[in-house]
Amino acid sequence: MKTMPHTASSVTPVIAIHGGAGTLTRSHISPEQERAYHAALQEVLCAGQAVLARGGSALDAVCVAVQALEDCPLFNAGHGAVFTADATHELDAAVMDGATLAAGAVAGVSRVRNPVLAARAVQQDGQHVLMIGTAAERLAQSAGLAMVAPDYFSTEARLAQLRAAQAKAAGAVLDHDGAAALAARTPEGPLHEGRKMGTVGAVALDARGHLAAATSTGGLTNKRPGRVGDSPLIGAGTYADDRTAAVSCTGHGESFIRVAAAHDVCARMAYAGATLHEASEAVVHQALAAIGGTGGLIAVDRQGNVCLPFNTEGMYRGLARVGQAPETFIYR
């Protein structure tokens, strides 16, 4: 997908979001369902855009957007997260501030309502970058964040998705591939409104020229308990640096970890002089493809250019510049 260049005389704040990439079959989505998905993405974009419009920071904007995505059961993050093989939930999230390179992340949490806010609490605490499990939950609780019982994250659709994957002996599967397994058992197909899936993320550039990124996920359907993917790993699924770009990834996390995908985009720009488009496309279509990695990423650079590449059939995504109408996309 082509980079969307910013051509105004001064940089206009912009936010981009994703809701996951995967095998999204056009034949299994009705016009009504597609409109509902676009409406959800538009609502999230408007929330982040509003933060930037009133002069808020890129970090505030991405956290607001990802929190909204976590609260929407159509996505695999927060309420509506997928199940592990043990029918439990283990959620991961990360945030990074491109101005300072300050970052925070949590992994394997099951009692924090909004994991992205827990990741920001880790960042604000400043002592560590990545906290896991009950210790991360204690830090979140001490920061005054909302706590929930683990079943808050559960939905019947996600449980059905787990059972379908287990019945097919599919192992751990990507969100949309899990939906495809479920579609074989349900007439409405993998993009039924209640089964919209995918790791979520946001990247933004604010009026002061600062970048930020945030990512959140429930992981893989039927994953082995204790598995951690790329989302909370700084440099793999999440990265931001004012000198280059902010990046949030979605897809098969193990592959993104192996190529340090998010940081690789920034490194190609910093050390090889690549443009955002060149760097993003190379990571998705060359580095990831070389090891069979599937998924995509969203990225914004310090000039306000946005790139949203993916190597799957589709990726839920969108962008909104301050003063302009949000744009959302599912397929190419």
Q: How many whole angstroms separate alpha carbon 108 and alpha carbon 93?
A: 9
Q: How many whole angstroms separate alpha carbon 307 and alpha carbon 254?
A: 22
Pairing label, strands 130-132, 103-109 = parallel
Helix residue ranges per DSSP H, 168-272? 175-183, 253-258, 261-272
**Quick one: tokens of 215?**
């990512």
Residue 215 forms beta bridges with which residues?
Answer: 94, 201
* Residue carrying the six token digits 């949000």: 326
For CA atoms 141, 224, 65, 72, the dihedral sign is negative
Stated as kind and residue range, the H or E segment containing 20 is strand 14-22
Stated as kind and residue range, the H or E segment containing 91 is strand 91-97
Q: Specify the amino acid at residue 294.
A: T
CA atoms within 13 A on the CB side of 214: 32
List of E strands, 184-281? 200-205, 211-217, 238-240, 245-251
**What is the phi/psi pair of residue 47, to 5°?**
-65, -45
Q: Give the distance, in angstroms, between the CA of residue 101 and the centroid of all CA atoms in the same chain.
A: 19
**199, 238, 244, 312: which is the annotated catalytic residue?**
199
| Active site annotation includes 199 | yes
Q: How many whole angstroms separate alpha carbon 190 and alpha carbon 278?
A: 32
Tell me which DSSP letter residue 155 carries.
Answer: -
For the annotated catalytic residues, the residue numbers are 199
